[in-house]
Amino acid sequence: MKALLFWYHGYAAHINGPTFREFAEGMAAGGYAVIAVDQHGHGYSDGATVLINDYKHLLEDNIAILDVVTRGTPDGERSNLGLDPDIRDKMTQLPFFFGGQSLGGGLSLLMAMQLKNDTTRPNVGARLLGVMANCPAIRANPPKEPVLFLLKHVVAPLLPSRQIPKFMEKVSLPELVWLKPEHMEMGAQDKIGQPGGLGWPGTMRFGTGSQLIDMLGELYSRLSEVDFPFLVLHDPEDGIVRFEGTQKLLDEASTAADVPRGKEVKEMLGLKHDLLSNATTQMLAAYTDWGAARLEAGAQQLT
């Protein structure tokens, strides 16, 4: 192992499918231990399916997981995670990256921002070498302001579990997510109610939509606080998460100019939203190349 990669999946996704497995195995072959879980309300995790009552709970969950892997459990006893003790011990010393796709990409940026400002975890924060993200959720496609105000302040508080009407949502449109028919078919089969399905068959819940608006609003307003290295892969024509957010991140991030490959964006034209499925090979090549450069830079800083 060279480093750890804490990976966060997107909204209505999970980590139990073949495309994620291919990505994780590819990263592992390059020397990265990939740590990923189904987020609250997703996949096999607890909670009402795809209902996010407070996006900060996702951050709290992922900080707890970070602590288990990098520091041990809260009572000081290390969790072995089912691993050999020597491997488990090494994981507590390795540098690491945050990464994710879509909602997970936004979470990875917020996680890094929180860790960098966390004085209770200085030794952990010093080991963070950067963020790798696909089409991070920084800017979405909300409805016009009057409608948005009504949904957020009236409908969502009263009916948080109710689903947004289809005509108002683009997130679940398969033609905006996937490039290949086989991935569209896989997505159609991976739905609750289908054999083995874990995905959400409906539209976004109002409560979740309200929370994601708040999360993206916070992230969008704080991009100048991003002072760590990052690599972003994003299709400029992405119809779900707007490239405008990635461009603003590139323009406003305060990552020092002398940091090797500190601010990097790769335009994945025509590859749509789910780069994990649509561009697995290109994604692995970009991640391992950038990660190697950041590991080399990190080693030079330590010496």
**DSSP letters of 275-299?**
HHHHTHHHHHHHHHHHHHHHHHHHH
Q: Distance (Å, rounded) from C-alpha 108 to C-alpha 37?
A: 13
- The rounded Cα 276 to chain-centroid distance in angstroms is 11
Contact 36, 7 (CB under 8 A): yes
* 231 within some domain: yes
Is residue 62 included in any domain, yes or no?
A: yes
Q: What does pLDDT average to over the chain?
A: 93
In this predicted structure, what is the pLDDT of residue 272?
97
Q: What's the rounded Cα separation, in Å, for the pair 128 and 112? A: 8
Residue 246 domain-assigned? Answer: yes
Q: Single out the residue of 212, 216, 214, 209 nearest to residue 156, CA to CA.
A: 209
Residue 144 in this model has a pLDDT that exceeds 80: no
In a domain, 35, yes or no: yes
CATH of the domain at 234: 3.40.50.1820
Residue 185 lies in a domain: no
Q: Report whether pLDDT(59) > 60.
A: yes
Task: Report the Cα 101 to chain-centroid distance in Å.
Answer: 4
Task: Tally the domains of the chain.
Answer: 1
pLDDT value at residue 76:
59
Supply the pTM of this predicted model: 0.94
pLDDT of residue 302: 53
Beta pairing, strands 32-36 & 230-234: unpaired
Q: Which domain holds residue 269?
A: 3-140+216-302
> Percent of the chain beyond pLDDT 70?
96
Please tell me the distance from the alpha carbon of residue 229 to that of residue 261, in angstroms, as a whole number.
Answer: 7
In-domain check, residue 197:
no
Q: Does any domain span residue 34?
A: yes
Q: How many of the other CB atoms lie within 10 Å of CB of 182?
A: 10
Give yes or no for residue 141 having a pLDDT over 80.
no
Rounded Cα–Cα distance for residues 197 and 17 (Å): 10
State the Cα angle at 230 between 254 and 41, rounded to 5°.
115
Q: Which of 9-23, 118-132, 255-269, 271-285 has the lowest mean pLDDT?
A: 118-132
pLDDT surpasses 80 at 215: yes
CA distances from 254 to 104, 225, 290 (A): 22, 6, 19
**For 198, how many CA atoms within 13 A lie in the half-sphere containing its CB?**
15
| More confident call, 151 vs 61 | 61
> Is residue 154 one of the residues assigned to a domain?
no
Q: Label residues 55-87 b or e (16+ Cβ within 10 Å = b).
A: beebbeebbeebeebbeeeeeeeeeeeeeeeee
State in Å, rounded, how far the first CA of the chain is from the last one: 20
